[in-house]
Amino acid sequence: MQKLIIVAAGAAFAFFTAQIAQAVDLVNEDDTDHIVTIVEDGEETNITVTAGDSITEVCESCFLSIGDSNPVAAEGDEMVVVKNGLLVKRSG
């Protein structure tokens, strides 16, 4: 019985660790701050990413945009980078 509990606890830990690791990161490579709109599950959030800064785990699966630009879809371990005022998706 004790082995079953240990195996179950290990499996739960691995599951939750994998879930946490699957989040989109946002990196601003520009010399200026940008306001990025994130839409996840119909909820819209605006965040400011400062020049040269990065924000980890902004969402699991979402759309990101700056101003009126076309949204960029991202999910999992992908990275979205601000470069020259535009959002570009890179694989993590």
Could you give the 3-state DSSP secondary structure of residue 14? helix
| Res 11: pLDDT | 52
How far apart (Å, rounded) are the C-alpha atoms in residues 19 and 87? 24
Whose tokens are 């694989």? That residue is 91
Instruction: Kindly indicate the confidence band of residue 7, based on its pLDDT and cuts at 50, 70 and 90.
Output: very low
User: Strand 34-40 vs strand 61-65: parallel, antiparallel, or unpaired?
Assistant: antiparallel
Alpha-carbon dihedral sign for residues 31, 35, 39, 45: positive
Instruction: Give the pLDDT confidence score for residue 48 in this predicted structure.
Output: 97
pLDDT in tens, 9-50: 555 555 554 445 589 999 999 999 999 999 999 999 999 999
What is the arithmetic mean of pLDDT over 66-76? 95
pLDDT grade, residue 78 (50/70/90)? very high
The pLDDT, as a whole number, for residue 8 is 47
